[in-house]
Structure 1
């Protein structure tokens, strides 16, 4: 079984069940499966063969679902790319990923035009029309093809080549902390097993209506808010982008039952003045991932909206989910929960030996969800996957009941005078202050202690001072963990999923010190 065959199965069993809703349109499973077949057939007529690479430069829309499943049905390997990337960023992935066909929004055409002549391997560019593109009158060169026309050329039924568990279905380029992005190769087995295991673990079923506002090109949304509900016959409520007002509106009007987001999204929803518990009246579960959620935010959100947040953990290389707080046992705030079914998590020391309960070490993962490897990077693959275990680079600990706690990224740990300081611990204290909206902690060079703790804070109280906040931290943290400096910002740098980018803050410090 794989994503494509499972969706076909659902469409056969429940052809009239609503598969998705997007703005003023919707489609049943029968209609969606028909569109996927037609598009897959259209791709095959363009010369797309099994194993060819197809890139998606698409936002959240039916285009993404039909393109993803259609390309996989045609036997292709799909490479989702953030459509707001620069021309150089897109060029690297298209070139490194040996892409043959690009499916892109019309608003991306100006960016692609900058690459004219620099993509010799790209044979076709299929353009998806948007209201924004029509509004600006974007010219489509003759060599580019219309999504609508490719779809129209397709035949139904079309089943495509046989797909094997070990065939690479998707390559996700991970940003990483240094160097060029690495392409994590996820097989059909990887993606299907994780989607099905997540759906079963969180009890996502045909009655669920799941809000998909996280970017679909990101693995969190791809598995948890798109593939998982589709595997069990649920309905995906597609939002083109995150907006607190739109989330509350769709949740209320469409009786949404599941919401998936990153901590920053929950913060914006919590701060939104017009958000009410009644808007989430049908919500049975909220899911958080992508970054650690401050405990204070989790408790405040749950109290205000009367809904449970299940925090989990994942990474692109694991398709992505490895842990979630279980629904049938007590949830532990601050924990990423327990291992989901069929996946093992373990904490080890530098020698790869399992450490005692409560001790901090590196989190490693094993299961059917672990990637095949990095595309064209055998050395990186060998370093990351050892004896079947995926080394995550995250520091964590496990309690006596098997609940895991992320302490921090291995590379983000700050060493002050020989003592380890985990940024998350300091951020938790900052978030507990009533005037702090957002916080990020990094290590900066210090002539006396090697490193010092520096904080960046967004506050809703313009009168809050650095001294007051440092004093507050002193009440809750050991002396060596107390920030040496706090800088107030209007907003913190974030990626497209809303995850706060400590790396960007570190780069800013480096550039400033270099300028001096």
Structure 2
């Protein structure tokens, strides 16, 4: 089995002058990228078998360091560029006593939206299986130019590096989506096979704020993938209308499972559907209604937590907390998360279903459904929402709208307008915090600046 770094070496020989990685400020050819990786790997030669914790504010430096750590036989532990020194030191200390298997490539830390961040140990075998899954299912090619808009320290963006390098294609790295002009300048790159990965928050921002501008690139965008958090059906339909010839994929993946399944919703728009399993992956639904995954893309373990590992990974199967079902076509559909379910007077409510329904109402750009104490039922539903300044819907209008889409027990009893709902880099709702007056501090879980969705949407 070749590694990503071995494919980089091959492509440096085959396509030495082809752009391998581009940013708005600089670019490296395959020959130059390979040379930079080799030079950095020499400086890391004494770290073989050890975990190397790193971060960088410059995307190309980050990529070079990541690949060089692998080439040196060490384990890459990427952190956000704004990770505080205390977090850096704590992770270095935790991993200093770990012994890693020969095939270990990475330890990737989750964002911790439902608990403390966990160090997910990933093998080179899993990386290559992820690459093969994406190439086969989404059609990466040698002439693909893949625009990465998120932080490479998180699996959602990092996983796009793998198939791009294997194919000898080109990476275009951006520093997030806070600058829409930078994103559109990337779309101006002279290629007829542009592709990108956008979290649902970014898709909603483009649909609401830059629809006509995005439509101009309809013949250049080969495919767009979304994942990490669910995309609302209304946003799916809007994107299909704007980009009728672009393949639009909704993918099921996580740091623990790897890339499992994907679905082109520009063929048939089905909310919550993430399609068939990819070549190196399998899934099934447990008796509890949760999704279980198998195959070569699974994590190896959690670093420093054998008990948690045993709880979710056994019998060559990773048992998730995601609720789902398999439709008559054999496609996986996501409903929500088991640990997000709210009990209202004996009725089970998936908050994501309420959020998806609310976001279909004009004027609401983001929301979160939470549970609050109630003297009779024990708890009641409350909807916190962010509204467009020029179009703030009355709470009675919101309630009537929801009543047309949901069963009565799913319609929130309480409503509150807020100016911000906290999300992670991956566009997931931070259900530990919910609404907050502004961005977080410390750099560990900066919220995305754009509206998005919760976990799970209405299927069909």
Whether contact under 8 Å (2:21, 2:172) holds in the other structure is yes
Equivalent residue, structure 1, for 2:33 = 32
Give 1:381 deviation, angstroms. Answer: 0.7
Secondary structure at 1:504's aligned position in 2? coil
Residue segments in structure 1 that go unaligned for 5+ positions in a row: 101-162, 351-360, 509-516
1:292 paired with 2:259, answer no
Give 1:196 deviation, angstroms. Answer: 2.2
Report matched runs for 1:437-448 at 5 Å: 437-448=365-376
Secondary structure at 2:380's aligned position in 1? strand
Secondary structure at 2:135's aligned position in 1? helix
Secondary structure at 1:325's aligned position in 2? strand
Q: 1:388 aligns with which of 309, 316, 323?
A: 316
Whole-angstrom CA distance in 2 between matches of 1:415 and 1:303: 38
Residues 486 and 203 of structure 1: CA distance in aligned 2, closer, same or farther (over 3 Å): same
TM-score of the aligned structures, taking structure 1 as reference length: 0.79
Equivalent residue, structure 2, for 1:427 = 355
Equivalent residue, structure 1, for 2:400 = 471
Whole-angstrom CA distance in 2 between matches of 1:204 and 1:95: 39
Q: Bigger shift: 309-318 or 266-275? A: 266-275
Residue by residue over 1:217-260, the C-alpha shift from the partner in whole angstroms, topping out at 9 and shown as x without a partner, is 00010012x22211111111111221322212211244461010
TM-score of the aligned structures, taking structure 2 as reference length: 0.88
Residue segments in structure 2 that go unaligned for 5+ positions in a row: 438-460
Q: How many residues align?
A: 430
Residues 251 and 177 of structure 1: CA distance in aligned 2, closer, same or farther (over 3 Å): closer
Equivalent residue, structure 1, for 2:15 = 14
Give 1:507 deviation, angstroms. Answer: 9.6
Structure with higher Rg: it is 1
Equivalent residue, structure 2, for 1:79 = 77
Give 1:326 deviation, angstroms. Answer: 4.9
Whole-angstrom CA distance in 1 between matches of 2:190 and 2:153: 24
Residues 59 and 408 of structure 1: CA distance in aligned 2, closer, same or farther (over 3 Å): farther
Q: Bigger shift: 206-215 or 440-449? A: 440-449
Give 1:368 deviation, angstroms. Answer: 0.7
Whole-angstrom CA distance in 2 between matches of 1:77 and 1:399: 39
Equivalent residue, structure 1, for 2:194 = 257
Q: Bigger shift: 397-406 or 176-185? A: 176-185
Whether contact under 8 Å (2:149, 2:174) holds in the other structure is yes
Q: Bigger shift: 492-501 or 260-269? A: 492-501
Equivalent residue, structure 2, for 1:199 = 135
Whole-angstrom CA distance in 2 between matches of 1:381 and 1:276: 43
Report matched runs for 1:384-423 at 5 Å: 384-423=312-351
Equivalent residue, structure 2, for 1:486 = 415
Whole-angstrom CA distance in 2 between matches of 1:338 and 1:328: 15
Whole-angstrom CA distance in 2 between matches of 1:485 and 1:98: 49
Secondary structure at 1:337's aligned position in 2? strand
Residue by residue over 1:273-317, the C-alpha shift from the partner in whole angstroms, topping out at 9 and shown as x without a partner, is 473411343001111001010001111122134444211111111
Whether contact under 8 Å (2:121, 2:299) holds in the other structure is yes
Give 1:476 deviation, angstroms. Answer: 1.2
Whole-angstrom CA distance in 2 between matches of 1:203 and 1:59: 30
1:241 paired with 2:176, answer yes
Whole-angstrom CA distance in 2 between matches of 1:223 and 1:207: 18
Residues 495 and 10 of structure 1: CA distance in aligned 2, closer, same or farther (over 3 Å): same
Would you tell me which structure has more helix in proportion to its own residues? Answer: 1
Give 1:178 deviation, angstroms. Answer: 5.2
Secondary structure at 1:454's aligned position in 2? strand
Whole-angstrom CA distance in 2 between matches of 1:366 and 1:426: 31
Give 1:67 deviation, angstroms. Answer: 0.3
Whether contact under 8 Å (2:113, 2:431) holds in the other structure is no
Whole-angstrom CA distance in 1 between matches of 2:81 and 2:97: 15
Secondary structure at 2:188's aligned position in 1? helix
1:176 paired with 2:174, answer no
Equivalent residue, structure 2, for 1:503 = 432
Residues 178 and 331 of structure 1: CA distance in aligned 2, closer, same or farther (over 3 Å): closer
Residues 27 and 177 of structure 1: CA distance in aligned 2, closer, same or farther (over 3 Å): closer
Give 1:267 deviation, angstroms. Answer: 1.1
Equivalent residue, structure 1, for 2:64 = 66
Whole-angstrom CA distance in 1 between matches of 2:106 and 2:256: 11
Secondary structure at 1:8's aligned position in 2? helix
Whole-angstrom CA distance in 1 between matches of 2:117 and 2:167: 33
Whole-angstrom CA distance in 2 between matches of 1:364 and 1:67: 34
Residues 438 and 20 of structure 1: CA distance in aligned 2, closer, same or farther (over 3 Å): same
Give 1:399 deviation, angstroms. Answer: 0.3
Secondary structure at 2:108's aligned position in 1? strand
Report matched runs for 1:133-148 at 5 Å: none
Residue by residue over 1:383-416, the C-alpha shift from the partner in whole angstroms, topping out at 9 and shown as x without a partner, is 0102111011111111011111111111111111
Whole-angstrom CA distance in 2 between matches of 1:283 and 1:328: 13
Whole-angstrom CA distance in 2 between matches of 1:308 and 1:487: 38
Whether contact under 8 Å (2:363, 2:392) holds in the other structure is no
1:362 paired with 2:290, answer yes
Q: 1:312 aligns with which of 237, 246, 251?
A: 251
Residues 327 and 334 of structure 1: CA distance in aligned 2, closer, same or farther (over 3 Å): closer
Residue by residue over 1:62-99, the C-alpha shift from the partner in whole angstroms, topping out at 9 and shown as x without a partner, is 10111001010000001011122334333322221229
Q: 1:269 aligns with which of 203, 206, 215?
A: 206
Whether contact under 8 Å (1:331, 1:337) holds in the other structure is no
